[in-house]
């Protein structure tokens, strides 16, 4: 199986934590997603940071359109690979 990863980009940590928690309920994800803070180079201000939720989908069973809509509920988006 190939390594398929979805990256959801969220505006703040609270949204990223909520998304990571709800992913399991909504999509039946068993593996806990990873949350990563992504700041622009040289930016220390939390206001300028984005939060990423990394989700592995080795079986390619998650619908990317549904993930797009899901991330948009928190004012985020799914990053294309």
Q: What is the pTM of this model?
A: 0.84
What gap in Å lies between CA 76 and CA 9, rounded to an integer? 5
What pLDDT sits at residue 17? 95
Reported as a single tens digit per residue, the pLDDT across 2-53 is 568 999 999 999 999 999 999 988 998 888 899 999 876 555 555 668 899 9
What pLDDT sits at residue 1? 44
Q: What is the mean pLDDT of residues 56-66?
A: 91
Lowest mean pLDDT among 29-33, 44-48, 62-66, 67-71: 44-48
User: 40: burial class by Cβ within 10 Å (0-12, 13-18, 19+)?
Assistant: exposed
């Amino acid at each position: 199986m190939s390594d398929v990863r979805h990256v959801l980009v969220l505006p703040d940590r609270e949204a990223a934590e909520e998304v990571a928690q709800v992913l399991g309920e909504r999509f039946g994800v068993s593996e806990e997603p990873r949350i990563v803070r992504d700041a622009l180079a040289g930016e220390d201000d939390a206001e300028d940071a984005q939060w990423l939720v990394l989700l592995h989908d080795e079986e390619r069973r998650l619908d990317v359109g549904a993930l797009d809509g899901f991330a948009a509920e928190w004012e985020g988006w799914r990053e294309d690979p």
